[in-house]
Each structure stands twice: as C-alpha cells, then as structure tokens.
C-alpha cells in the first residue's frame, strides 16, 4: 500500500498546494511514483499542473459522492510517474451531501484501499476548511503534513488542527501521525526566526527538520504549469523540497519497519 499524506491547514496562504505539487515532484526525482489528489474547490493544484478545472469528466468529487473509482479519475501529467486526480468547484457540494452518507468520513480511505494502487505515495491537497472533505482526507491519511508560516496567525491556527487530529484519532484513524512544515520563512525576519524556534520547542520531533524559505520562483512555477523542480531545478526551493522528500522517505521507511517488528 502507498503512503498517504494529507496536506492541510485551516489557515489559507501557507503554501499547501505549493507543497503538494513541489513535494510530489521532488519524490519523483527520488525515483518514487506519486498520485496527487486535488480536494480543493479552488482547484489550484489542478491549474498548477496545466489542467482546466472544468475540462475533466470525472474529478475527486465523483470519488467522494458517486463512488467513482480512483483509476477512472486519474490523469497523466507532463511529469513522468506523477499523476493527478483533478478537482473543480463541484466539490463544494461534498460539504453538504457527504454527511448524509453512511460512514461518510471513510469514503476516500475505502476508495484508495479498493483501488489496490501501485504508487509509492498519495498526496491529498485539502481545502482551507476543516469540514467533511478534510475529515475524509485525514481519515485516509497515514500522515498529516501541516504547512505553517512562521507568523502568529498561522501558528495560532495549529490549535484547531491539533483538536481535529485528536478527534480523527478517537473516531476513525487512531494511527494518524502529523508533522509541521515551516514554509515561506524569511531568515532575515526576527519574528520569523523566533516563531520557528518556538514551534520546534513546542512540538519537538513533530516539526520537519527541513524548512522552506521564501522564493519568488515558487510563485512563477504555477504560471508555467509545472513544479518548481522542473521549472527551476537549481532554485533554492527546489533543493529544499528535494531534501524534504528525502526526509519524508526516511520517515516512511522507519514507520514501515516499526509496523513489521
């Protein structure tokens, strides 16, 4: 079974989608096969990979509401070994209709399990709201990756994320782990440095060693319709996401070893 990672934070603008696509492409650079699933109505992940959100006949919404299979909704991207399940604005209806279904929080997990996928990693790009879609993602995930800016409001939003993690563990997914990723860090900014240090003091090993610094090239890559690792392979953020991918692969290996012992 692939390792499933949900990328989520209630706070918007913390580089969730950027992290999803950049990490996915960096994992491919390390020889992994990756499926990205866009669960956000804004469909920014879909757009970032060169797809128009309304052009796909089947999307992630069809998986959640209409029992469409994972295989039937997959699209090949221009990056070898990096596939996408696109999204569209229709997924907004999932917040209304999902809770009407029996065992609605486990639908995505069941769809992934039934698909018997050959990917090494599945990465779920979640909407910036802790509703039914995000709960589905966290129930399906082995790991919750929380991109967090080293700023007060972003760090404060972690309170609600921790509350949701406890709820998901109690109700649907007792083995859900989490890791915080500090993003958009400006090392010249004293506040950024202080909050980053406070996050490490508070959460310890719950924070990735890798930090993603501010990089204007990251803002340009979606316009080009490709991940930063292809758009500017030598950019600072490309290197940092490759290091993050390596750290994540080591984490996955350690986790599997623990499960088999």
Pair 12, 100: CB distance under 8 Å: no
Q: Are the C-beta atoms of 3 and 121 separated by less than 8 Å? A: yes
Distance CA 207, CA 171 (A): 25
pLDDT in tens, 154-192: 888 899 999 999 999 999 999 999 999 999 999 999 999
Give the start-to-end residue ranges of the domains of the chain.
3-247
| CATH node for 3-247 | 3.40.50.300
Tokens (6 digits) for 212: 């993603």
**Which tens digit of pLDDT belongs to each residue from 234-246?**
999 999 999 999 9
The percent helix, strand, coil of the chain (3-state, each to 5) is: 50, 15, 30
User: What integer pLDDT is reported at residue 64 of this predicted model?
Assistant: 95
- Mean pLDDT calculated for residue range 136-150: 96
Give the Cα separation of 53 and 32 in Å (integer): 26
Predicted model pTM: 0.95
Answer yes or no: are the C-beta atoms of 247 and 207 closer than 8 Å: no
pLDDT tens for each residue of 201-256? 999 999 999 999 999 999 888 888 889 999 999 999 999 999 999 999 998 888 77
118/114 Cα distance (integer angstroms)? 12
Contact 36/21 with Cβ under 8 angstroms? yes
Q: Which residues of 71-86 are buried (b: 16+ CB within 10 A; e: fewer)?
A: eebbbebebebbbbbb
pLDDT at residue 56, rounded to an integer: 87
H or E, element range at 34: strand 34-38
- What tens digit of pLDDT does each residue of 96-121 get? 899 998 899 999 999 999 998 999 99
pLDDT of 260: 62
Round to whole Å and give the CA distance between 98 and 131.
10
């Amino acid at each position: 079974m692939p390792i499933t990672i949900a990328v989520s934070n209630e706070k918007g603008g913390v580089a969730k989608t950027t992290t999803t696509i950049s990490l996915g492409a960096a994992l491919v650079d390390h020889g992994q096969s990756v499926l990205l699933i866009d669960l956000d109505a804004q469909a920014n992940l879909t757009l970032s990979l060169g797809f128009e959100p309304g052009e796909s006949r089947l999307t992630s919404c069809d998986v959640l509401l209409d029992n469409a299979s994972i295989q039937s909704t997959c699209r090949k991207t221009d990056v070898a070994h990096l596939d996408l399940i696109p999204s569209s604005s229709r997924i907004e209806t999932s917040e209304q209709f999902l809770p009407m279904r029996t065992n609605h929080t486990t639908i995505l997990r069941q769809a992934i399990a039934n698909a018997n996928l050959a990917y090494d990693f599945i990465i779920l790009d979640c909407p910036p709201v802790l509703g039914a879609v995000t709960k589905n993602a966290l129930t399906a995930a082995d790991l919750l990756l929380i991109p967090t800016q080293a700023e007060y409001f972003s760090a404060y939003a972690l309170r609600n994320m921790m509350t949701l993690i406890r709820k998901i563990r109690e109700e649907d997914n007792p083995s859900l782990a989490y890791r915080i990723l500090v993003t958009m860090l400006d090392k010249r900014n004293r506040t950024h440095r202080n909050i980053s240090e406070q996050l490490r003091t508070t959460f310890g090993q719950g924070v990735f060693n890798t930090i993603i610094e501010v990089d204007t090239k990251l803002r340009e890559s979606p316009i080009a319709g490709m991940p930063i690792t292809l758009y500017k392979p030598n950019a600072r953020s490309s290197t940092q996401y490759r290091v993050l991918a390596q750290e994540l692969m080591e984490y996955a290996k350690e986790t599997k070893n623990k499960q088999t012992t």
